[in-house]
Structures are given as C-alpha cells and as structure tokens.
C-alpha cells in the first residue's frame, strides 16, 4: 500500500476523482448563487483546508528562502487557477456538468501542446495519438445531439 501511495498514478487518479466530484458538487452549488461568489466561497474553503494540512504536517517553509522566480511562477499559476475556476463555475451555471467537464478537460490536450512548445518536452507518436483521442472524446461527450 505504501508503494502505491508514493506513485504519481495514485495521486493522478485521486485528482481525477476529486475533480469529477467538484463538477457535480459545484453544479448543485451554483444553482442559487452567482458563479463568481460561488468561486469565492470555494476558494476560502480550499485556503482553510490547505492551511490546516500545512499546520498539521508542519510543512510551512520560511518565505525568505523561496526565490523570486518561484514566487513569480506560483503567482502566475494562482492567477491562471483563479481565472480557470471563474470560467468553470460560469460554464457550470450555464451548462450541463456532463458537457462542461469534458470541455474543461481539454486542458489535458493543452498541457501536452504547451509542454512541448514551452518546456521542451517530447511526446511520441502514440502519445500524440492519445492527445488526439482525448480531444475527440471530449468534443464527442460535450456534443448535444
């Protein structure tokens, strides 16, 4: 069991499972509230949970040992996350969760493209085929026919 908990696959599957629950819970949660305000409430909950985890596990780090570059990219990541959440909740307010979530998961396709373009990562032909299938699958699930 410990070996499994140390694998990236376990944590990626856990992330996917929680992301699926996020869509369902959020769809119900935005029914009677402004989507931006719903995002604000969600953000407060996340902040409290992560702060509790850091406190319980004593994982705080001195702020002065973190580089400026790290702060910059974490700030940019935070801004991108916030924008993503605002857009996601607005989409859930307007559309079906079963159609919104697959389009949101096109982020997988974009990560592959951006990883190659900006980080110099390399994908094999079967990898690119998988990226294409993810894109096609997301579009097919989102299609309202």
Given this model, what pLDDT does residue 144 score?
82
Q: Please report whether residue 12 resides in a domain.
A: no
Q: Does 139 lie in the same domain as 81?
A: no
- What are the backbone angles phi and psi of residue 30, rounded to the nearest 5°? -90, 0
pLDDT exceeds 80 at position 44 = yes
Q: Does 91 lie in the same domain as 26?
A: yes
pLDDT digits (tens, 9 = 90+) for 115-125: 999 999 999 99
The residue-averaged pLDDT of 24-36 equals 92
- Number of domains comprising the chain: 2
Q: Does 111 lie in the same domain as 82?
A: no
Structure pTM? Answer: 0.81
Label residue 140 by pLDDT band (50, 70, 90). very high
Q: Please report whether residue 100 resides in a domain.
A: no
9-13, 64-68, 71-75, 122-126: which range is least confident on average?
9-13
Which domain covers residue 84, as residue numbers?
A: 21-95
Cβ atoms of 97 and 27 within 8 Å: the answer is: yes
Q: Does 118 lie in the same domain as 52?
A: no
For residue 79, the Cα-to-chain-centroid distance in whole angstroms is: 13
Q: Does 86 lie in the same domain as 51?
A: yes
Q: Does 89 lie in the same domain as 26?
A: yes
Q: Please report whether residue 14 resides in a domain.
A: no
Q: Does 127 lie in the same domain as 85?
A: no
Cβ count within 10 A of residue 38: 21
Given this model, what pLDDT does residue 5 score?
83
pLDDT exceeds 70 at position 86 = yes
Residue with tokens 């001195």: 62
Q: Please report whether residue 7 resides in a domain.
A: no
Could you tell me if residue 44 is left (phi over 0), alpha (psi between -120 and 50 degrees) or otherwise beta? alpha
The residue-averaged pLDDT of 108-115 equals 95
Helix (H) or strand (E) holding 22: helix 8-29
The residue-averaged pLDDT of 68-86 equals 94
Q: Does 84 lie in the same domain as 111?
A: no
Q: Does 128 lie in the same domain as 90?
A: no
């Amino acid at each position: 069991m410990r070996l499994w908990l140390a694998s990236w696959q376990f944590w990626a599957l856990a992330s996917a499972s929680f992301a699926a629950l996020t869509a369902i819970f959020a769809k119900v949660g935005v029914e009677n509230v402004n989507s931006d305000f719903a995002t604000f409430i969600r953000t407060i909950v996340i902040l409290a949970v992560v702060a509790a985890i850091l406190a319980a596990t004593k994982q705080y780090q001195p702020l002065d040992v973190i580089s400026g570059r790290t702060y910059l990219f974490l700030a940019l990541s935070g801004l991108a996350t916030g924008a993503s959440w605002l857009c996601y909740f607005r989409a859930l307010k307007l559309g079906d969760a079963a159609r919104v979530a697959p389009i949101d998961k096109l982020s997988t396709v974009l990560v592959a493209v951006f990883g190659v373009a900006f980080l110099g990562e390399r994908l094999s032909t079967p990898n690119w085929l998988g990226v294409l299938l993810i894109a096609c699958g997301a579009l097919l699930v989102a299609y309202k026919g």
